[in-house]
Structure 1
């Protein structure tokens, strides 16, 4: 678990929600609170899954190269909300790997529906559900495998978004690696919503292979 950055997203509390789950599935969980961990190639070589929760981070070229190279060679990368899509804006290889970048959330915390759209082990048995949280508007790679979406109503802050269907949960293959991203997860309370937690837990396991 690589965690830090803007504390408003509670990166430590959010990642700790999944420690017991991961250990129950046989993982040895380590934590890092410095992005320089991505330059430790010997450490990364033994890692099956990197969970990142680091909003507002700036990756050095060396950090970006270490992370992207390890994922492309077969590790999994997973995360949620600003911890993965609102960070590393100056790192094009990272952005390409993740497949989406946060732009805005018109209206702040708003009621909206998350629609399950993809047939996948991550979404099996789940139905669409309602949330009250930030509705992320992102720029996304059209090649993503989208598993859930949301439709914007057109908040007065951004009326032009009315009718826009935006990915919420996606996966992608990246070389020999797997990437899982969910834009849900502003706080621990958001991640504890049963459907969101199930999506996230399954996404972590899928990314780990």
Structure 2
């Protein structure tokens, strides 16, 4: 069996602990038999030979700026079959000005309450047989709750009800996505909005979704 190749690209805002968070899942991939390359530069997306041989990209890069050339190369690699996976701001609060990137990921962070929220994550019953969700029931998270703009073509696997927000009371009660997948050409994309704290990643259900999501997205 050919060894799967993973590329972990990390950087951006330090508040999301990009090194420690990505180290956690680089280690998980190695445990699953992947060969893992870790990069601290978005110029990795310009290495056509590297991306062509990569089965999975795990991105942990909050905010920051991606060039048009880097963005186009990443999109092309995923369209050609390279998987893309990530969590929280590392994938859906990256490169806020790049709508082409947002189209690929299928969703974009736009707001969260100033204070942390305690909210219930609800796996969707109609997706219970999806490999990312198997055996995972509802669970509670206390962290940032992302309010998102979402592409209507994604496959939402889990959602939550948006908690009361003093700054935007009109949003309370809205059903917001938490975890989803999408196809981008021949490639697969996995996203979960959870993961502000390292402790969020240690919640068993969150950790399982991310580990399974990475495997699902892999070429």
Q: What aligned pairs does 1:1-209 form with structure 2 within 5 A after superposition?
A: 1-117=8-124, 118-119=127-128, 120-209=130-219
Give the number of equivalent residue pairs.
209
Is contact 2:105-2:191 (8 Å) kept? yes
TM-score normalised by the chain length of structure 2: 0.93
Runs (4+) off by over 3 Å: none
String of CA shifts for 1:7-57, please: whole Å, max 9, x gaps: 000001001112232112221011110111111111111100000000012
Q: Normalising by structure 1, what TM-score?
A: 0.97
| Partner deviation per Cα, 1:132-175 (whole Å, 9 max, x = no partner) | 00000010001110001010132222111121000000000110
Provide, for residues 163-200 of structure 1, a one-character-per-residue CA deviation record: whole Å limited to 9, x for no partner.
10000000001100000000001121110111100011
**1:198 aligned counterpart, secondary structure:** helix
Q: Distance in 2 between matches of 1:201 and 1:187?
A: 17
> Over aligned residue pairs, what C-alpha RMSD do you find?
1.0
Listed as ranges, the gaps of 5+ residues in structure 2 are 1-7
What runs of 5+ residues in structure 1 fail to find an aligned partner?
none
Contact 2:46 2:69 in 1 (8 A): yes
